[in-house]
A = this chain, B = another copy of it.
């Protein structure tokens, strides 16, 4: 658990990055994002379960981004960023790197805008996510499964073709778009005690913090991270951004690390990060299938896992959980159920 206010060492580093601070999205950007994506994105339902409430000892409200277009919240940010481009820039096309959901989201957003998309995908990404990208008509470029290889491959595509890079999370318009999920949740559920969102690269958690800070300052904002990929937790605890780990988690969407931009926003707006181990994440996924009747991917289940793993912290509260996505291969689903 981190304090909401960053320590003095952290403030000193902030002072050294005025350019970064100028590119942090604001609540006004979030309002623009909501208006921009409205014709394209779904207002996803918020579901609950008496059985899960009884297990958790809290009142759980699940914001079902697995039911978003392209099967994940990623469509919000991708759609916002793609439709924010001016016509001349957009016409040259868009590129991105993605373990899957952001890639499919960019591919869909580009198809809707009628512009070409190129997606750099690391080896080992789930087949269902690759098919979703190809299905939307995007071009796929493969790379090694680490952030450096991804960044290099996408830089090459940008240099060669003059397309615009839309990073999966380190982008103000992407972050603002992701924040619209919490905005919708807090609009229909204005008295939540806390919102819990998964954290990988930190785009969703940054946007969630941004929305909550203005719409409901009393609502706590917690990140949920696999213990096996706890770079965000350790980054916030130490005050220094950790980017050199190779995480080993079933949460394929949470293997990235924070950027300076998301690190800054999360340190400012979130109340902390909570961890869950792999077994707890599997259990949470099964509970979602059994009681919510929802297919969610492991990266989504971590939010439920941390709530169940911290009963004293959340006892008796109203908690909003962002179920971030539902893209999982039938084979993976089957093996996780066994």
Contact = CB atoms under 8 A, between A and B. Distances in A.
Interface of A: 45, 47, 50-51, 66-67, 69, 71, 128, 135, 286, 289-290, 292-296, 326, 330-331, 333-334, 337-338
A290 B338 CA distance: 18
Contacts of A296: 293
A218 B120 CA distance: 49
Given A330-B289, A334-B334, A50 B71 contact: no
A321 to B, nearest CB: 15
A135 B51 contact: yes
Contacts of A337: 330-331, 333-334, 337
> Among A50, A290, A331, A338, which residue has the most Cβ atoms of chain B within 10 A?
A290
Contact of A294 (B128, B135, B295): B295
Nearest to A331: B337
If over half of A's interface residues share one DSSP class (helix, strand or loop), that class is named, otherwise mixed; here it is: helix
Nearest to A71: B293
A67 B47 contact: yes
Q: Which 6 A-B pairs have the closest CB atoms?
A: A293-B326, A45-B45, A334-B337, A66-B293, A293-B295, A330-B337
A291 to B, nearest CB: 8
Nearest to A48: B42
Contacts of A66: 293
Contacts of A69: 50
A135 B71 CA distance: 32
Given A294-B294, A295-B294, A295-B295, A333 B47 contact: no
A295 B330 CA distance: 12
Tell me which of A67, A135, A296 has the highest count of chain B C-beta atoms within 10 A of its own C-beta: A67
Nearest to A65: B293
Given A45-B45, A50-B69, A337-B333, A293 B294 contact: yes
A334 B338 contact: yes
A66 to B, nearest CB: 4
B286 A330 contact: yes
A290 B135 contact: no
7 contacts: A67-B292, A67-B293, A128-B290, A286-B330, A293-B295, A330-B337, A334-B337
A104 to B, nearest CB: 11
Nearest to A46: B45
Nearest to A51: B135
A331 B292 CA distance: 17
A216 B302 CA distance: 44
A71 B330 CA distance: 22
Contacts of A67: 45, 47, 292-293
Contacts of A45: 45, 67
Nearest to A336: B334
Given A128-B290, A293-B294, A330-B337, 5 more contacts: A45-B67, A293-B295, A334-B334, A334-B338, A337-B337
